[in-house]
A and B are shown apart, each in its own frame.
Chain A
């Protein structure tokens, strides 16, 4: 495993061309997360529509991994119901804890499976997790998810 294979083409593509980047109009919850060791920043906003579908806004600055992860997450989770979003988050967390050995489920994680190689580099795991932590925190703040469900 070398570094080029950690930077999967999907990751680079999302880094260069972030999907749906920007804030939303009426956020019900918002979370700003920073990675104090390297200064990565991500803000995630959430709102649930009447059908119970999730809508996301985000912005941020930082390394390729954190910013691509935000883009992949926003694209993936847009329109999810709460349970599906939570399942995706849990699957992503588990993949990042796998030390890179996991075989993540593409049905749940979509493009986010590309981050499996990042799990081999402990210093980068926090970068990949940052937007997912922001999503969870924003959901709690919006009242859609209870603190205990973390």
Chain B
């Protein structure tokens, strides 16, 4: 193994606790949220203990130190994806990042909106917005809303039986009418890793803005925004060892520059008069109100932890575990994997259904044996419908999991099958 899991586990105090009658906690729900190493908890606490103050204002030393902590966190998280700090906007989570992007279109398109709206963000009847059939609701519902308000039409790339994007009609789905292509890099429900570069290049060919939901890729593999070729990219801190309450939106400088603000108020202005205001340059334009300083500091500590492990080793470790799990799940009678069943261009989130047993009941058996997994539609209800299943059970591994964890999960699935006679 490329990662010393026993050593990593020592850094995650929560993994020492037991659940349900003294069972060892087997945490296989990192696609929902990852656990946090002591370093992250300490970084956040240290910030509050030593330099807590309002950032970007206040003429005192604490305010300077707090500002420095916040901006250093921005620099670290930007560098983590190969970007510079001026290109990174802090939000509360990826959902807000994606809404920030979507509202740039709605707000640029409303009648009597900013008269000087950047035409790249003005959409209306006849225009199309393209997503995929495997989006998390966070990258689907906001675009439905843009369409509802502007008269644009939503289109999507379908998903085949193996959980891969149908790319045959790519040039028909993304065409001259397309103004936005917003796609998930790695599906949180299927595990599929999508050919984002191809989609972004096609978006740019037709003059559309390309957006990537990187929630499930940035925590798990080396991601470089320039290699991806996107204009905007969203992800969350809490899935990459960081605290809750912090999300990121990276944007190409000229793209961010063309976007109107999303939430308005303090901190995001340049000048304010009684009847109008002008706005600060990005990223500040998109950070109204008192920001999530401690959370940003915590997220940066999480990124530092991952960098020390090495993102290529993280990816290789997960690849090995995923291969181990897929091989065994494929061999289990009555188990059907929803998503790519081979370990190629996919991540560590594995969804499956068990014949004759609803996902909720499977999850209950896993829980009884200390295994934390997610059951349900995973905020990708249309994807479940595509596969004709009401819900799936999903296990997702990370740096602190090993093959023994997978074995406990597989045993619990067998126990559920025995119990329900399925």
Query: Are both chains from one complex?
Result: yes
Complex Cα distance, B364 from A4, in Å, reads 10
Complex Cα distance, B420 from A121, in Å, reads 19
Residues of B within 8 A of A41 (CB): 390
Residues of A within 8 A of B376 (CB): 37-39
Chain A minimum-CB-distance residue to B21: A2
Q: Given A4, A12, A127, which contacts B360 in the complex, CB threshold below 8 Å?
A: A127
- 1/0 per residue, CB under 8 A from A, across B273-313: the answer is 00000000000000000000000000000000000000000
Residues of A within 8 A of B357 (CB): 64
Evaluate whether A65 and B21 lie within 8 angstroms (CB atoms) in the complex, with A4-B419, A39-B384, A39-B391 already known. Answer: no
Are the C-beta atoms of A38 and B360 separated by less than 8 Å?
yes
Judge if A3 is at the interface, Cβ distance under 8 Å: yes
Q: Given B21, B358, B367, which contacts A64 in the complex, CB threshold below 8 Å?
A: B358
Judge if A61 is at the interface, Cβ distance under 8 Å: yes
Residues of A within 8 A of B420 (CB): 12, 64
Are the C-beta atoms of A3 and B375 separated by less than 8 Å?
no
Judge if A40 is at the interface, Cβ distance under 8 Å: yes
Are the C-beta atoms of A3 and B358 separated by less than 8 Å?
no
Are the C-beta atoms of B368 and A38 separated by less than 8 Å?
no
Residues of B within 8 A of A146 (CB): none
Judge if A110 is at the interface, Cβ distance under 8 Å: no
Judge if A100 is at the interface, Cβ distance under 8 Å: no
Residues of A within 8 A of B390 (CB): 38-41, 61-62
Are the C-beta atoms of B365 and A3 separated by less than 8 Å?
yes
Are the C-beta atoms of B359 and A64 separated by less than 8 Å?
no
Give chain B nearest CB distance to A7 CB in angstroms.
Answer: 7
Are the C-beta atoms of A6 and B364 separated by less than 8 Å?
yes
Chain B minimum-CB-distance residue to A37: B376
Judge if B377 is at the interface, Cβ distance under 8 Å: yes
Q: Given B20, B21, B365, B391, which contacts A38 in the complex, CB threshold below 8 Å?
A: B391
Interface residues of chain A, those whose CB is within 8 Å of chain B, are 2-4, 6-7, 12, 37-41, 61-65, 121, 124, 127
Kindly list 10 other residue pairs between chains A and B, CB separation below 8 angstroms, not including A38-B376, A65-B360. A2-B368, A3-B367, A7-B361, A38-B391, A39-B376, A40-B360, A63-B360, A64-B358, A64-B361, A64-B420
- 18 contacting pairs across A/B (C-beta < 8 A): A3-B364, A7-B361, A12-B420, A38-B360, A38-B375, A38-B376, A38-B391, A39-B384, A39-B390, A39-B391, A40-B360, A40-B390, A62-B360, A63-B358, A63-B360, A63-B361, A64-B358, A64-B420
The 6 lowest CB-CB distance pairs between A and B, nearest first, are A3-B368, A63-B360, A63-B358, A39-B390, A38-B376, A39-B391
